[in-house]
Amino acid sequence: MEKRNTRTLALIVSTITYLLVGAAVFDALESETEKKKSGYYFDEEQIIRTKYNMTDVDFNHLRRNIIQSVPYKAGTQWEFAGAFYFALIVITTIGYGHITPQTDAGKIVCMIYALIGIQLCNAMYKSVGERLNIFVTYIMKQGKKCLRLKKTEVGQTELKIVTLSLSLIVLMPGAAAFMHFERWAYIDALYYCFITLTTIGFGDFVALQKNNALEEQPHYVTFSILFILFGLTVISAAINLLEPVISAAINLLVTVISAAINLLVLRFLTTNTKDERRDELETVDVALTAIRHDGDVITGNGTVVSQAQE
């Protein structure tokens, strides 16, 4: 098998295996909680329907209205502050899904805006991340000079440690701030920060969605926007530094899997060749041991091959 094909197959196998392992882990962790919550909400639904004597149509209508009204608890979403926050969520590909365009014109503009903005944002963060690493390297060199250390050069390992530490400094105090503003548990706030800055953006936790925050808490709006902008810069810098390490680990894994695939293919081909050779020998042996009986030529399994003429 060609090397490129083997590598591609190895990457596919690795990804599928990673997905299967992830599915098994999340199944084990989350399935029981889901069943309990599902049962709880079903019971609550039945209680409400019975108490207020609601039909299925009325209940579904009420539920839909409640769900659709959630984004408006933050205040007017499409004034400048909310629209800016939405634009930021679009071009950074965080995509919480908490607010979406409702008009046809808005949807069309959103698609075009995203196509251009995402590329621009990616290029900007990559460049800024590289500049941040250069700046951190400069600061570390100056620090070593101030301490009068003999070796003032900054190694890659030192730079990675500092950048990762900076990432934690952004995540952990940021989580504390969101815990304060949103009244979340700290683990939920930390989870929100990580999901946001890695641009996964599930949307199960979204800042600025309570108590008319977009209209009445401009300082919190400013903090949230700056947190995303600066946090993505730091995470981008960390990814730039860790990319060679991650690539090396992936290449090692792919090399091992590729070797295993080549071994399996070779084993399969060798086995097939042996089987074909054995079948050929058996055919020749049967032909040589054909039995002539009453003028008929009969093979070893009793099939008549030809009729002899007397």
Per-residue pLDDT of the chain in tens (310 residues, 90 and over written 9): 567 788 888 888 888 998 999 999 999 999 999 999 999 999 999 999 899 998 889 889 988 888 877 777 777 788 888 899 999 999 999 999 888 999 999 999 999 999 999 999 999 998 998 898 899 889 998 988 888 888 888 888 888 888 889 999 999 999 999 999 999 999 999 999 999 999 999 999 999 988 888 888 999 999 999 999 999 999 888 888 888 888 888 888 888 888 888 788 777 777 766 666 666 666 656 555 554 444 555 555 555 555 544 4
Q: What is the pLDDT of residue 273?
A: 66
Q: Which pLDDT score is estimated for 303?
A: 54
The full set of domain ranges for the chain reads 55-264
* pLDDT of 308: 46
**What would be the CATH architecture of the domain defined by 55-264?**
Orthogonal Bundle (1.10)
Nearest of 205, 209, 265 to residue 71 by alpha carbon:
209
User: Cα separation of 289 and 291, whole Å?
Assistant: 6
Question: How far apart are alpha carbons 163 and 169 in whole angstroms?
Answer: 10
Among 219, 231, 218, 116, CA closest to 167:
231
304 close to 297: Cβ distance less than 8 angstroms: yes
CB neighbour burial string for 215-252, b if at least 16 within 10 angstroms, e if fewer: eebeebbebbbebbeebbbbbbbbbbbeeeeeeeeeee
Tell me the Ramachandran region of residue 260: left when phi exceeds 0, alpha when psi lies from -120 to 50, beta otherwise: alpha
Residue 198, C-beta contacts closer than 8 angstroms, at least 6 positions apart: 235
Tokens of 248: 């090396």
DSSP the chain: --HHHHHHHHHHHHHHHHHHHHHHHHHHHHHHHHHHHHHHHHHHHHHHHHHHT--HHHHHHHHHHHHHHGGGGGS-TTSHHHHHHHHHHHHTT----SS---SHHHHHHHHHHHHHHHHHHHHHHHHHHHHHHHHHHHHHHHHHHHTT-S--PPPHHHHHHHHHHHHHHHHHHHHHHHHHHH---HHHHHHHHHHHHTT---SSS-TT-STTHHHH-HHHHHHHHHHHHHHHHHHHHHHHHHHHHHHHHHHHHHHHHHHHHHHHHHHHHHHHHHHHHHHHHHHHHHHHT-EEETTEEE-TTS-EEEE---
287: closest CA among 278, 277, 295, 297? 297
Amino acid identity for residue 120 in this structure: L
| CB of 129 closer than 8 Å to CB of 237 | yes
Backbone Cα Rg of the chain: 33
Quote the CA–CA distance of 213 and 81 in Å, as a whole number: 10
